[in-house]
Amino acid sequence: MIDLFPTSEDDAAEIVRSHAASGKPLSICGGNTRSGFGNAVTASDRLRSTNVTGIVSYNPGEMVLTARAGTPLAEIEAALAENGQMMAFEPMDHRPLMGTTGEPTIGGVFAANVSGPRRFVAGAARDSLLGVRFVNGRGEIVKAGGRVMKNVTGLDLVKLMAGSHGTLGFLTEVTFRVPPRPKAEQTILISGLNDAEAALAMAAAMALPVEVSGAAHLPMTVAWKFLDSTLPPGEATCLRIEGLPKSVEARAAKLATAMSAYGPVIHLNRADSARLWRDIRDVLPYADGTPRPVWRVSVAPGAGHQLVAALRLEAGVDAFYDWQGGLVWMRMEADPEADLVRRFIKALGGGHATLIRAPDETRAAIPAFEPQADAVAMLSARLREKFDPAGILNPGKMGG
């Protein structure tokens, strides 16, 4: 595969125009840290954003940052940390789970709509995205909110680009919100709850006026892998409180008192709390150097543990829970059991299952993303046709 590294938006547009004219497909990527994510793309050339870099504008007082898409995520995070700000959606680093190298880019974060533990209260990456510039499949430079593409009037191009995985265009610039970083943080741990009990405890915590910003449950099979095994033995249900120091102290005390009705409670200080949630964000238990299939499943919070219990009766599966149980990370022992997983999700009221990691031969045979309903699939195909009439951008990435 030939890597193509444009150094500007105009360079990228010329490359896309040339490939569109010849009908030659392009694989779109940034730092390539999510290699293996999604359906396989067959293309001999790979268009990469890693030389289209730099923070274009950043005024901390306005809490908005604009950067070129290839800017390393680490550079963005360093600039924000210096000014006491953050990306509220807490983007996951896929490298440990996927076994990849390289540097994640800010464009890649938005192209894949990457989010972490704070997602259930702060929204996904797309909810922070305010503006984009990109090159469409015709090689035209488009700015959301300015130029309106023919026949897509009324569509929110910003939201469409987030999570499109390079199938609608090559991102060159993103503008997004950067709120203040919390001054203090504590995590309350409840020990010894099974999955169903943890679901009830997390639901009760979310009903309290304490503003929980992280709610996860780590069964015994995974809990020992966090904080170098310094968590209490057995299961751990984790609840995060963030904000101003005095407020955090008061709210954490109120939460701990309420949660003591469910099991033994301990407090984690800020350093240990931050480390724990980073490891939950990056799916540490399954960053095991193997290609064993890993699913990312989004369901109603009360349905997550029911899904896992049903699957355990018929397949080898390990799992832990984030987003109050609404996000289930599942590692299969052998076969991904795609039909079984999706059938059970449907029976529990619906949701989405994305195959994040699997051997290459498995990825070639199983749709990585949740199959779309016919009407949605038809609309998606029409959108791709408008944005990329020659079908050269990441063909097959999203299926269909």
pLDDT band at residue 145 using 50, 70 and 90 as cut-offs: very low
Dist. CA 215–CA 201, nearest whole Å: 10
**Could you tell me where the DSSP H helices lie in the chain?**
9-22, 73-82, 95-98, 106-111, 119-122, 125-128, 157-161, 195-207, 220-223, 245-259, 270-281, 304-312, 338-347, 360-365, 374-387
Domains and CATH numbers, the chain: 2-180+378-387 (3.30.465.10), 184-281 (3.30.70.2190), 289-365 (3.30.70.100)
Q: For the chain, give the mean pLDDT.
A: 92
Listed range (121-125, 175-179, 301-305, 395-399) with the worst mean pLDDT: 395-399
Q: What share of the chain is helix, strand, coil (3-state, %, to 5)?
A: 35, 25, 40
Q: Which two tokens stand for residue 194?
A: 């099974």
- For residue 50, pLDDT beyond 90: yes
Rounded CA Rg of the chain: 21
3-state SS assignment for residue 319: strand
pLDDT of residue 41: 79
Dist. CA 219–CA 201, nearest whole Å: 14
359 burial (CB, 10 Å; 0-12 / 13-18 / 19+) is: middle
Dist. CA 100–CA 294, nearest whole Å: 15
> pTM here?
0.93
3-state SS assignment for residue 213: strand
Mean pLDDT of 178-183: 97
pLDDT of residue 377: 81
pLDDT tens digit string along 339-381? Answer: 999 999 999 999 999 999 999 888 888 889 888 888 878 888 8
Do residues 98 and 34 touch, judged by C-beta distance below 8 A?
A: yes
- CB-based contacts of 347: which residues, under 8 Å, 6+ apart? none
- For residue 94, pLDDT beyond 70: yes
pLDDT tens digit string along 270-280? Answer: 999 999 999 99
Dist. CA 308–CA 297, nearest whole Å: 10
**Strands 45-48 and 2-4, sheet pairing:** parallel
**DSSP class of 44:** S
pLDDT of residue 2: 92
Tell whether the torsion through CA atoms of 259, 261, 266 and 272 is positive or negative. negative
Helix axes 245-259, 195-207, angle to 10 degrees: 130
Do residues 67 and 78 touch, judged by C-beta distance below 8 A?
A: no
For tokens 């990849």, the residue is: 100
What are the DSSP calls for 251-293, one per residue? Answer: HHHHHHHHHTTTS-EEEE-HHHHHHHHHHHHTTGGG-SSS---
Q: Which two tokens stand for residue 129?
A: 């995205």
Dist. CA 171–CA 173, nearest whole Å: 6
